[in-house]
């Protein structure tokens, strides 16, 4: 049985296809090919072309299949959102694929729970419905090539094929030489996911603006009460990490633009934490900190005063 490709934007003619019939290597290849075209368009500054390719990808049957597969294979597949709906059978999954339509789509509020933190207190976890997760997964396929193209060179969190070990390795490369910088700014962005400006995201992120707005303003339900949301991206949203990567892209260049080679400034970013090295404490205080504060403020963010500090390498640091 023939699996529909990216050139086929509708799902109706694939109605006889079953979940077990799908040739996943072929589907992956088709989606990957278009993702590479999106990345190329972004690199060339052809944003109009990139948007057209994103539209093609998010309306393709192949991408919708992959989106539902990702969501139903995820560890949270058995955790429903506010609608209580789960997709467990092959038939339910195929029906879910055909339901991923932009026209008439409404994002539902997220189900919020509080997760205990090792350091004490709690952090909120917002759980979308499976359909909302799948719509986000679908549009993440089109956004990820943008994020990977625009991300700072030394950003390691929330990126494919990059890990904590890579970030640690880069720190070692920077700090293990005799002429290495001696001072470290340990930066921690306060409540990064919760305070990231929705207006900034809608103005700067290369994706479907209407859908992005729906996700950012969907609100959440906690203890049977509906709460509106105006800023921030939900911790638990499939597309949220990519949005954060894009929001922080440019931070490394902004910092390095105010430094000279003798300042020995290096930047390593992992999720909402980062370090900046320098030859002296004064470079970090007088040059780096003001640039970081200004960059974050534009995005509705700020450093945590309690967790951000400047230390000498001999004292060690946490990252």
The reported pTM is 0.92
Average pLDDT over residues 44-70: 98
Q: Is the separation of the CB atoms in 267 and 256 below 8 Å?
A: yes
Instruction: Tell which phi-psi region holds residue 187, choosing left (phi > 0), alpha (psi between -120 and 50) or beta.
Output: beta
Q: What is the pLDDT of residues 274-307, one digit of tens each?
A: 999 999 999 999 999 999 999 999 999 999 999 9
Please tell me the predicted confidence (pLDDT) of residue 14.
55
Q: What is the pLDDT of residues 91-150, one digit of tens each?
A: 999 999 999 999 999 999 999 999 898 888 888 888 999 999 999 999 999 999 999 999
Query: What is the Cα 112 distance to its own chain's centre?
Result: 19
Picking from 203, 206, 204, 246, the residue whose alpha carbon sits closest to that of residue 48 is: 206
User: Residue 315's CB: how many other CB atoms inside 10 A?
Assistant: 8
Q: What is the pLDDT of residues 137-146, one digit of tens each?
A: 999 999 999 9
More confident residue, 54 or 1: 54
pLDDT of residue 3 exceeding 50, the answer is: no
Please tell me the predicted confidence (pLDDT) of residue 41.
99
pLDDT of residue 10 exceeding 50, the answer is: no
> What gap in Å lies between CA 303 and CA 99, rounded to an integer?
41
């Amino acid at each position: 049985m023939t699996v529909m490709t990216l050139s086929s934007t509708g799902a109706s003619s694939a109605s006889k296809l079953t979940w077990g019939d799908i040739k996943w290597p072929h589907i992956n290849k088709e989606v990957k090919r278009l993702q590479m075209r999106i990345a190329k368009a972004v690199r060339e500054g052809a944003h109009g072309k990139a948007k057209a390719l994103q539209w093609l990808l998010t309306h393709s049957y192949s991408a919708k299949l992959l989106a539902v597969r990702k969501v139903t294979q995820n560890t949270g597949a058995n955790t429903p959102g506010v609608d209580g709906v789960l997709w467990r059978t092959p038939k339910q999954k195929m029906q879910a694929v055909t339901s991923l339509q932009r026209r008439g789509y409404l994002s539902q509020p997220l189900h919020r729970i509080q997760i205990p933190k090792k350091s004490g207190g709690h952090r909120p976890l917002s759980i979308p419905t499976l359909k909302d997760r799948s719509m986000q997964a679908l549009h993440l396929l089109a956004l990820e090539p943008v994020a990977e193209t625009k991300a700072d060179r030394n950003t390691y969190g929330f990126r494919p094929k990059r890990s904590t070990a890579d970030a640690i390795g880069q720190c070692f490369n920077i700090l293990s030489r005799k002429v290495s910088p001696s001072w470290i700014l340990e930066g921690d962005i306060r409540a990064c996911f919760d305070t990231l400006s929705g207006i900034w995201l809608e103005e700067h992120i290369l994706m479907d603006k209407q859908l992005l707005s729906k996700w950012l303003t969907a609100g959440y339900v906690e203890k049977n009460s509906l709460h509106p949301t105006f800023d921030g991206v939900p911790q638990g949203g499939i597309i949220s990490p990519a949005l954060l990567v894009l929001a922080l892209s440019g931070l490394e260049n902004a910092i390095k633009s105010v430094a000279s080679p003798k300042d020995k400034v290096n930047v390593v970013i992992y999720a909402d934490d980062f370090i900046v090295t320098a030859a002296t404490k004064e470079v970090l205080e007088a040059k780096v900190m003001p640039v970081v504060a200004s960059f974050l403020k534009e995005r509705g963010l700020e450093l945590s005063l309690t967790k951000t500090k400047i230390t000498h390498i001999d004292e060690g640091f946490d990252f």
